[in-house]
């Protein structure tokens, strides 16, 4: 069996960034920028007022009074110089008139007939945003490889860009296998299972900034499985199957891949849950054959498919963050495989603490619902309460919401089975 780390390294060798495309600016949100963006001009383009007030030449100021000789609004500019000893009323963002080098805010003046009186000391050059103060022409404002957030979108819009050059989103096909599976909306009878895997994997694909293509359910039939796999790779950049990858009489996925000319790169990973994971390449495209048990499939996706999709989408930060947290109760792994234990991390008494969630069976989705991380528990290991453990954070953006408030306890949970 291959280790988790070796499996990830092998997979990433076969995951290459997809071609670049131009999309409308708003559609670039959460996509990866293909190249650096430099500002074509200074920001701001000219000196302008940072306040609603009055602009004048500080050197011509005599006493505390200035005659008001004009008005300039944002979006407009005065061409003629302002006469010495006078001021013009100016709005925030308006271009500084010729001959003016200082702005006094309106609240620091008192209006009089035809003039203003300054009511506070004035410093030369105050309340002016200088040309190029924010960005000089030619400055790199966004690095290629950045994930476009609203702030990057705002920056590009300020440069007048209507489109963004981004890496194409991967199209990831999903194929569930098994006679026992039912589509969503149908009531199961004994021996049948609702196909939650396809929607779960589709959600994970979407979260990984890719596009899911649901190919439905393939029955336990060799030709049907082979045909669906062929169809998948004609429509998508990558294929994820669930079920049919173990050693049962009707587990046809690996054989079908090989029959179609694919190459199985590895089968079985030294981990629990999710040992019977297979990775193959067919028609130059990655194929992931995940187990049929829901948790095993979702954990397998997290560890292997998600990094590949993010790399194909042009990403460089493709692995989940890992933190160290103190165990809230003893935890043991008597088995020979490392375990990825569903767990809940919380900040308590200034420390990150972690508790195991629900029953750790590979079909128990509730254990994932109650978790925000996967605790990495090495084989043949016993940890005491208070020991440090490594935890892969699954949903960092929701971390604070999922944390337990100080003084509360995590849901009670049995220990993982040997």
Per-residue pLDDT of 369-403, as tens digits, reads 999 999 999 999 999 999 999 999 998 554 444 44
Percent of the chain with pLDDT over 70: 94
Q: How far is CA 18 from CA 220, 230, 289, in A?
A: 33, 21, 22
**What is the longest distance spanned by two Cα atoms in the chain?**
99
- pLDDT at residue 403 in the model: 45
- pLDDT at residue 189 in the model: 86
pTM: 0.86
pLDDT at 413 over 70: no
Mean pLDDT for the chain overall? 92
| Of residues 250 and 410, more confidently modeled | 250
CA gap 160, 167 in Å, rounded: 21
Q: Virtual CA dihedral for 90, 92, 95, 99, nearest 10 degrees?
A: 50
- Phi and psi torsions of 387, nearest 5°: -70, 150
Mean pLDDT is highest, among 126-140, 237-251, 360-374, for 126-140
- Give yes or no for a contact between 248 and 242, defined as CB atoms under 8 angstroms apart: no
Supply angle C-alpha 184, 302, 312, rounded to 5: 100
The arithmetic mean of pLDDT across residues 295-317, rounded, is 97
- pLDDT at residue 37 in the model: 98
Distance of alpha carbon 71 from the chain centroid: 47
- pLDDT at residue 248 in the model: 64
Percent of the chain with pLDDT over 90: 86
CA gap 219, 221 in Å, rounded: 5
Q: What are 189's two structure tokens? A: 């009878």
In 124-142, which positions are buried (b, 16+ CB within 10 angstroms) versus exposed (e)? eebbbbebbeebeeeeebb
- pLDDT at residue 247 in the model: 63
184 pLDDT tier (thresholds 50, 70, 90):
confident
The arithmetic mean of pLDDT across residues 110-118, rounded, is 96
- Of 399, 328, 411, 301, give the one whose Cα is nearest residue 366: 411
Name the DSSP class of 395: -
412 pLDDT tier (thresholds 50, 70, 90):
very low
């Amino acid at each position: 069996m291959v280790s988790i780390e070796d499996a990830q390294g092998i997979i990433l060798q076969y995951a290459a960034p997809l071609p670049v495309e131009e999309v409308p600016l708003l559609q670039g949100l959460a996509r990866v920028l293909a190249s650096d963006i430099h500002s074509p001009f200074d920001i701001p383009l000219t000196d302008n007022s940072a306040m609603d007030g009055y602009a004048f030449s500080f050197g011509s100021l005599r006493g505390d009074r200035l005659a008001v000789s004009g008005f300039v609004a944002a979006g407009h500019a005065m061409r003629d110089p302002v006469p010495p000893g006078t001021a013009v009323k100016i709005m925030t963002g308006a271009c500084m008139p010729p001959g003016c080098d200082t702005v006094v805010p309106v609240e620091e003046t008192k209006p009089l007939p035809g003039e203003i009186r300054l009511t506070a000391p004035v410093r030369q050059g105050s309340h002016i945003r200088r040309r190029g103060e924010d960005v000089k022409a030619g400055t790199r404002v966004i690095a290629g490889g950045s994930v476009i957030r609203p702030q990057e979108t705002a920056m590009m819009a300020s440069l007048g860009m209507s489109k963004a050059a981004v890496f194409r989103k991967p199209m990831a096909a999903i194929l569930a296998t098994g006679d026992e599976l039912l589509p969503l909306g149908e009531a199961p009878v004994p021996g049948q299972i609702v196909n939650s895997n396809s929607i779960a994997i589709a959600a994970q694909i979407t979260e990984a900034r890719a596009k899911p293509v649901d190919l439905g359910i393939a029955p336990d039939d060799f030709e049907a499985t082979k045909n669906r796999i062929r169809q998948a790779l004609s429509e998508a950049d990558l294929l994820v199957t669930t079920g049919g990858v173990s050693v049962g009489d009707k587990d046809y996925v690996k054989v079908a891949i090989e029959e179609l000319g694919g190459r199985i790169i590895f089968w079985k990973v030294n981990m629990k849950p999710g040992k019977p994971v297979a990775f193959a390449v067919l028609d130059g495209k990655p194929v992931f054959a995940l187990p049929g048990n829901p948790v095993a499939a979702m954990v397998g996706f997290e560890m292997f498919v998600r990094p590949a999709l993010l790399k194909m989408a042009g990403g460089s930060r493709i692995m989940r963050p890992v933190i160290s947290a103190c165990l809230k109760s003893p935890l043991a792994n008597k088995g020979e495989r490392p375990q990825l234990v569903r767990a809940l991390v919380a900040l308590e008494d200034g420390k990150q603490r972690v508790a195991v969630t629900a029953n750790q069976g590979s079909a128990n989705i509730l254990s994932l619902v109650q978790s925000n991380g996967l605790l990495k528990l090495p084989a043949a290991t016993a940890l005491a309460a208070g020991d440090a453990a490594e935890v892969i954070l699954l949903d960092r953006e929701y971390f604070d919401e999922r944390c337990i408030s100080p003084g509360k306890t995590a849901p009670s949970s049995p220990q993982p089975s040997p």
